[in-house]
Amino acid sequence: MTTQPACVALITPQYAPAIGGVERHVTMLAQGLVARGIAVEVITTDPAGQLPRYEERDGVVVRRFPVVGPKAAFFVSPSLGQWLTRNARRFDVMHAHSYHALPALLAGAAATWHRLPLVFTPHYHGTGHTPLQAMLHVPYRPLGGWLMRRAQYVICLSAVERALVERHFGSRARTAVVPNGVEIEELCAARPFDKPAGRRIVLTVGRLEAYKQVDHLVTALRALPEHVELVVIGDGEARPELEALATRLGVGERLHLLGRVSQADLLAWYHTADVFVSLSLHEAFGITLLEAAVGGAAVVASDIPAHREVASFVPRDRVTFVDPHCGPEELARLVEDVVPLERPASVADWPLPTWERTVNGALAGYGAVLNARWSAVSREGSA
């Protein structure tokens, strides 16, 4: 019996056009599975209530459900859970994403109810993104531990993430490390935007939340020369605070909060930027660091284990590490002093991970859980 599923459910807090590391990972995985002839349905939420409840994007069926409660913390969506409970049996495998949001827990419950195989990619940071979420992680830990144990196969994005998962929940036999990929051809083919002579562009990309520390970069902008401008791609709850901070510091004209941009524009910005900065306090992987390095920017990254691991995919001189708790003046000096790099003529000899590898890793997980399921069915039938 084949171990390739005919239909897979990907359960994730948000999906494109929302942006972020989890969103990008699930988007590329979904499209890659469809290209392999597998039917894919993405089960997700829409906190803003502005996107279609049902649509097809690039051959992927997307079902969105509203969230309840203030803001989108944990993405509480009873209607998503109800839909999964009623419809889970239409799928061969359920693949849940993000330990830090409740849709994965709902997927675990539905898979248990219907005795379906469950694969889990936790994108695990070990804590919440805000002080409130960090506090809520304590009572949530037993539920999260149940989900980790319930999954027959866990896919981590880095060895750092796997070590953290094992430290918090114990080791398990079926855990694989499959990193995020890089769109190498698209990145290398992108072209920069025009920029005035003498201007220096500092770029950061990601969800605008406190743990990303974009406010530190905005504060450092005041200590940087007038010809340095900061481009921020991404959106989130911290945006109004960043706008107010820039106005208060008198750097509003040099701060460009672009919000969500198209993938083509994102790749162009990687080529336009002189320096890319990520000050994140914790990551499971850190895909933007890798994309920026391939795009040719000099990278300044917070010295955290995930960034160290990701930097191993690119030449050593492409990344400069900084204490994530450094002051704005120190950060400004580092950004100003970092030497702009020549755009790489070729990345053929860089050991870069690809999205094809990500898809292959997921399919290996699906095959493992399906084989286990067929074996269990055979044992029951012969008992």
pTM of the model: 0.86
Kindly tell me if the per-residue pLDDT of 217 is higher than 60: yes
- Reported as a single tens digit per residue, the pLDDT across 77-134 is 999 999 999 999 999 999 999 998 899 999 999 999 999 999 999 999 866 555 555 5
Kindly tell me if the per-residue pLDDT of 136 is higher than 70: no
- Reported as a single tens digit per residue, the pLDDT across 322-358 is 999 999 999 999 999 887 778 887 888 899 999 999 9
Average pLDDT estimate for 199-212:
91
> Per-residue confidence at 382, pLDDT binned at 50, 70, 90?
very low
Domain ranges of the chain: 7-181+354-382, 184-337
Mean pLDDT of the chain: 89
CATH fold group of domain 184-337: Rossmann fold (3.40.50)
- What's the CATH superfamily of 7-181+354-382? Glycogen Phosphorylase B; (3.40.50.2000)
Which candidate, 70, 92, 94, places its Cα nearest to that of 80? 94
DSSP letter string over 271-289?
HH-SEEEE--S--SS-HHH
Domains 7-181+354-382 and 184-337 fall in the same CATH topology: yes
Kindly tell me if the per-residue pLDDT of 378 is higher than 50: no
Kindly tell me if the per-residue pLDDT of 65 is higher than 80: yes
Alpha carbon distance 7, 210 (integer Å): 37
Q: What is the predicted pLDDT for the residue at 209?
A: 87
User: CA quadruple 301, 305, 309, 310: dihedral positive or negative?
Assistant: negative
Is 173 exposed, middle or buried, given 0-12, 13-18 or 19+ CB atoms closer than 10 A?
exposed
Kindly tell me if the per-residue pLDDT of 7 is higher than 90: yes
